[in-house]
Amino acid sequence: MKTRIEKIEEFLGNLDTEIDVLNYVDAESIEDFDDIYDQIQDNGGFDIDIIYYATAMEYLAENDTSLYDSMQLAAEMGYEIENLNSELLASLLASSRSREEFNSLETEIDEFFSELED
């Protein structure tokens, strides 16, 4: 029979996400979605760096052609316009999308922990 930690690690390893969750969390100290999210956030798991101008421009062209979303994120984070460039905007947007994608797993994760406790 698997231990609680083994069940958690197996579940996290099989989550449908681009984030390798097990690299960012301590399975022994998590009880719910918020614990996982906080550990990933604290360990930089949502931080995506898009480097090189061409790569950044391609990402922005595919995901934010008007630059509205990425500029809004930059403004919310307090960036001044003279400090913006395509790499920063693409990285901010990719990181935000990574958080959103993980947030979509909240129900699935909370259901797992609820069943685990039963």
Can you list the positions of beta strands (E) in 14-111? none
pLDDT, position 32: 94
Interval 32-63: pLDDT, tens = 999 999 999 999 999 999 999 999 999 999 99
Buried b (16+ CB within 10 A) or exposed e, 66-82: eeebbbebbeeeeeeee
Q: Which of 2-6, 54-58, 80-84, 104-108 has the lowest mean pLDDT?
A: 2-6
Where residue 85 falls among pLDDT bands split at 50, 70, 90? very high
How far are the Cα atoms of 4, 91, 100 from residue 112, in angstroms, in the given order?
12, 31, 20
Residue 23 in tokens: 């690299």
Is pLDDT above 90 for 118? no
pLDDT, position 28: 92
Residues in the chain: 118
Provide, rounded to the nearest whole percent, the portion of the chain with pLDDT above 90.
Answer: 93
Where residue 2 falls among pLDDT bands split at 50, 70, 90? confident
Instruction: Find out whether 92 and 83 touch, Cβ atoms under 8 Å.
Output: no
